[in-house]
A and B are shown apart, each in its own frame.
Chain A
Amino acid sequence: MKDMDRAQVPGEAVEHTLTFADGTCRRVFVTSVETPYPHGKLIVSRTDTSGVITQCNKSFVDMSGYTEAELIGQPHCILRHPDMPAAAFADLWKTVQAGRQWHGYVKNLRKDGGHYWVYATVVPNVRNGEIVGFTSVRREASQEKILAAEAQYRSMN
């Protein structure tokens, strides 16, 4: 995946290198700016069986800071934030590939280096008995739940 463009990240930013489950790396720039969750909305995306984004709604696009064209066809880890422990996503993949639902609190990285918190549910799309892809629906999390997740992830990293 392409490194993040420093020019797209306004103000002070910290550089990190993410290493993904497949061994590839991405250089990202992270600020401390949080974008608040849009009240009342659901953030929805779908992927193929390998986690490549195939479809997303407007809230997903707006919150990510990318355009829809920049997102479709990219692996979902385009949103991976360095504060998220790899173990959370390993658990996600193990769960949904086994045909079950996964939920958890996720801190996502925006194109501008900022972040947003969600409570995410991922389900396998089962058609004629076969998993043909995955859908994720995110909703607003309470401040308390976010603080607890933050502390837990810090201890895992």
Chain B
Amino acid sequence: MTFNFSVSPSFPNERISDWYIFNTWLQRALSLPIHLELYDSFGTQRAAIAEGKVDIIYANPFDASLLVREKGFRAIARPEGQPDEMVVITAAESPFKEIPDLKPGARVACSDDPSVNTVGRILLEPADLNAANTVEHRRETYIQVAREILRGEADVGFLPVEAFEALSSIVRRDLRVLVTSQVHVIHHVFLIGPALSPHAEQITQLLLSMHDTDKGRGILEALGARSWQAVQHEDVEFMIDIISTLTQ
């Protein structure tokens, strides 16, 4: 039986090949057939999850909630270091100095990343802005979100901090951060589903010691991580409780 591995589409396109390299490393180290399936949107990946087509996944925190609470997945590791944070950006020249300056009718550029959008929406609440009194511009990529702002087609945009920092300095010069989230407790996690649970221990040990070899370190670095850290089941339950307060 071949197991299916997937990765939340929240990573930059340049990393696609790095995830294939990771998958090759994983298969070899485990001596298990694992197929990497990448989805180009959060929606198509969610549909695949619902159909039981995913056995192991590097999931964004919002999908992790669904997988753990409803699909019997178990979190085994998370990347060391920075949690997932996002920024609300505006044009450097825009009249908005802080969130409460925004008015109903504001145009919001965003991707379809559920984590970033949920936190971004919360950060607009101090201006009493919500889905009903704003105009949302959904874009395929983070670059397109930034471009909407630069062209004056949107008033604010939502980006993961990582994606904002990856923009060229020329682009960033014309943008301004209105607010940066400091949620701290929310992060991506590696999850395994019921079909792989007999191998849970082996996979966990493999990930946690990945940074011990040059080869493993090289792959991690390409993926923007230093090492994988163990997660306690209760830590993930706590993260899910927090997410549930953000998505009501």
Which A residues are closer than 8 A to B by beta carbons?
37-42, 44, 46, 57, 59, 101, 103, 119, 121-123, 125, 127, 135-137, 139-145
A40 with B182: CB separation less than 8 A:
yes
A101/B245 in contact, CB under 8 A: yes
Closest to A103 in B: B248
Q: How many residues of B contact A (CB 8 A)?
A: 24
Contact A123 B244 (CB under 8 A): yes
Give CA–CA (A109, B228) in the complex, Å. Answer: 41
Given contacts A121-B246, A123-B245, A142-B127, 9 further A-B contacts (CB under 8 A): A38-B182, A40-B180, A42-B185, A57-B184, A101-B248, A125-B237, A125-B241, A135-B241, A135-B245
Asked whether A142 and B179 contact (CB < 8 A) given A44-B185, A135-B245, the answer is no
22 A-B pairs (CB sep. < 8 Å):
A37-B126, A39-B98, A40-B181, A42-B242, A44-B185, A44-B242, A46-B238, A101-B244, A101-B245, A101-B248, A119-B125, A121-B245, A121-B248, A123-B244, A125-B238, A135-B241, A136-B245, A137-B245, A139-B125, A140-B123, A142-B127, A142-B128
Instruction: Please tell me which one of the listed residues A119, A123, A139, A141 contacts residue B241 in the complex, with CB atoms under 8 A apart.
Output: A123
Q: Say whether, besides A57-B185, A140-B125, A141-B125, A39 and B242 are in contact (CB < 8 Å).
A: no
A residues near B246, Cβ cutoff 8 Å: 121, 137
| Min C-beta distance of A98 to chain B, whole Å | 15
- For the complex of A and B, the 7 pairs showing the least CB-CB separation, nearest first, are A121-B245, A137-B245, A142-B128, A140-B126, A41-B182, A40-B179, A135-B241
Q: Which residue of A lies closest to B183 (CB)?
A: A42
Interface presence of B99 (CB below 8 A): yes
CB distance from A46 to the nearest CB of B (A): 8
Q: Is B152 an interface residue (CB 8 A)?
A: no
Which chain A residues lie closer than 8 Å to B245 at the CB level?
Answer: 101, 121-123, 135-137
Give Cα A122 to B241, complex, Å.
10
B201-215, CB < 8 A from A: none
Question: Is B52 part of the contact surface with A, judged by Cβ < 8 Å?
Answer: no
Distance (whole angstroms) from the CB of A76 to the closest CB of chain B: 16
B147-166 interface (Cβ within 8 A of A):
none
What chain A residues lie within 8 Å of B122 (beta carbons)?
A: 139
CB distance from A137 to the nearest CB of B (A): 4
Interface bits B181-222 vs A (CB < 8 Å: 1, else 0): 111110000000000000000000000000000000000000
| B residues less than 8 Å from A44 (CB atoms) | 185, 242
**Does B105 touch A at the CB level, under 8 Å?**
no
Q: Which residues of A contact B126 (CB under 8 A)?
A: 37, 39, 140-143
In the complex, whether B224 has a CB less than 8 A from a CB of chain A is: no
Q: How far is the CA of A46 from the CA of B237 in the complex (A)?
A: 13
Asked, given contacts A40-B182, A135-B238, whether A142 binds B248 with beta carbons under 8 Å apart, the answer is no
Q: Give the chain A neighbours of B125 by CB distance below 8 A.
A: 119, 139-142
Q: How far is the CB of A135 from chain B (nearest CB, A)?
A: 5
Shortest B108–chain A CB gap in Å is: 16
**What does the 1/0 interface line of B170-182 toward A look like (CB < 8 Å)?**
0000000001111
The residue of chain A having its C-beta at the shortest distance from the C-beta of B233 within the complex is A127
Judge whether B100 is part of the interface by a CB distance below 8 angstroms: yes
